[in-house]
Structure 1
Amino acid sequence: MTVRERIEKLGYEIVYVPHEIIEGYNACYRVKYEDNLVFPPAADELGIPLNEIWISEKWEPFEELILYHELKEIEYRAEGKSVQQAHELA
């Protein structure tokens, strides 16, 4: 199963947005994962709706790598890691 398939199975929508909107982050998310609402502060700044993962259109050729990183970060955040810890571990 690909990372995209895993993410879609979790019920998340992958949304490509113009690079100018998300250029400071490249990718970001707001999701419900194992009964935990998981999102970094940037999700509020960007206005990301629940169960969406946003990726810059610029990085579409690297989708598999970016989605892998985002999913691992979500998993680490759900375990209680801080935003910074989860990002570094992912």
Structure 2
Amino acid sequence: GYHQCKWSYYPESNVKEITQKFRDLRIPCDAIYLDIDYMEGFRCFTWSKDYFPEPKKMVKELADDGFKTVVIIDPGIKIDLEYDV
């Protein structure tokens, strides 16, 4: 089905606003993509606590409403002394 993607949707409230609008307008949409702004300091495998305080809950709520959540991953890992990856 249709996948919605744009650079970028954040914070969580904006993601929910966008997905709700699809449902309100009865526009079929199966997935929502989140760009690098979901990350904490653009570090792969992390979530911004400011923008997405409860990512597991958000992903479940989106799934309950029929959306798959797709988060992009940068092909490189950030060099950062505060980031143990």
Q: TM-score, normalised by structure 2?
A: 0.30
Structure with greater strand percent: 1
Q: Bigger radius of gyration, 1 or 2?
A: 2
Q: TM-score, normalised by structure 1?
A: 0.29
